[in-house]
Amino acid sequence: MTPAGKGGVPVWDLPIRLFHWLLVADLAGLWWTAAHDNLALHFKLGYAALALLLFRLFWGVMGSDQARFARFLKGPAAVLSHLRHMASPGPLPPQRGHNALGGWAVVVLLLVLLAQVGTGLFAVDDDGMEEGPLAHRVGASAAKLARRLHHANFSLIQIVVAVHVAAVLFYLVVKRENLVRPMVTGWKRLTFLPGEGEAGVGHGWVPLWRAGLLAAVAAGLVAGLVVFA
């Protein structure tokens, strides 16, 4: 059976979906632990965030078709054309994977999150009792600066995530396109006929063992950083 024959086309493989929803849960935990001054757990969740982000970078190069940066990062002409489609009434052209604007939104999300982890690793807390594993490698003033940047960047993260969720709602309400279901089930309802259009090219998902291997490498790198910091 072609993918379209199942009533949809496969879009997000399991590793991307796990990455996404684990990241959302992890961020909630990071916010909660910071707000309740549980820095021991905050650090652990921070390491998990770093492992997730490293995995996503690997998957963007060696992962499934739709996950690859080279596939969804397009030039300004494609972004402008997508913006024009967004501004005009009616549904968007069928899209399997990130659209030209969403692709760059992924880059922004990954960068602000990496910046948060990066500053956290060097930050010292306000009373100087707790510090990230790399804080001892820089002077006290640099660690304090890292802390200030960690605070400021979290405000930026809140704005970027709010825009992200607002964009998903915009597609749902205005464009009548449900992006959330594919991020949960992996499949998207598109009107391609079997054997036609993009649906005919197969799902492009690579075997799960590769994701397992890359996740283990990401976790190993983070463990190495913590142990040898």
- Where does this chain touch ligand HEM (CB under 6 A) — which range of 80-88, 177-185, 197-205, 207-215? 177-185
Is there a contact between 133 and 222 (Cβ–Cβ < 8 Å)?
A: no
Q: What is d(CA 66, CA 106) in angstroms, rounded to the nearest whole number?
A: 13
Q: Is 24 in the site for ligand HEM (CB under 6 A)?
A: yes
**27 in contact with ligand HEM (CB under 6 A):** yes
The C-alpha atoms of residue 93 and residue 99 are separated, in whole angstroms, by 10
| CA distance linking residue 159 with residue 171, whole number of Å | 18
Task: Tell me which of 165, 174, 193, 216 binds ligand HEM, using CB under 6 A.
Answer: 165
Q: Which is nearer to ligand HEM, 1 or 99 (CB)?
A: 99
Q: Are 102 and 164 in contact (CB under 8 A)?
A: no
Regarding 96 and contact with ligand HEM (CB under 6 A), the answer is: no
> Is 9 in a helix, a strand, or coil?
strand
For ligand HEM, which is the closer residue by CB, 46 or 204?
46
| Closer Cβ to ligand HEM, 139 or 195, answer by number | 139
Q: Considering only residues 168, 217, 221, 225, which one is a binding residue for ligand HEM as defined by CB under 6 A?
A: 168
Max distance between CA atoms of the chain, in angstroms, equals 63
Binding mask 41-70 for ligand HEM (x = CB under 6 A): -xx--x--x------x----------x---
- Give the CA angle between residues 178, 16, 162 to the nearest 5°: 55
- Please state the closest distance from residue 194 (CB atom) to ligand HEM, in A: 23
Strands 187-188 and 9-10: antiparallel
Site string for ligand HEM, 112-131 (x = CB under 6 A): -x--xx--xx-x-xx---x-
Answer yes or no: are the C-beta atoms of 153 and 116 closer than 8 Å: yes
Question: Is there binding between residue 190 and ligand HEM (CB under 6 A)?
Answer: no
**Contact assessment for residue 83 and residue 108, using Cβ atoms and an 8 Å cutoff:** no
**How many other CB atoms are there within 10 angstroms of residue 224's CB atom?**
10
Which residues of the chain form contacts with ligand HEM (CB under 6 A)? 16, 19-20, 23-24, 27, 30-31, 34, 39, 42-43, 46, 49, 56, 67, 98, 102, 106, 109-110, 113, 116-117, 120-121, 123, 125-126, 130, 132-133, 147, 150-151, 154, 161, 164-165, 168, 179-180, 183
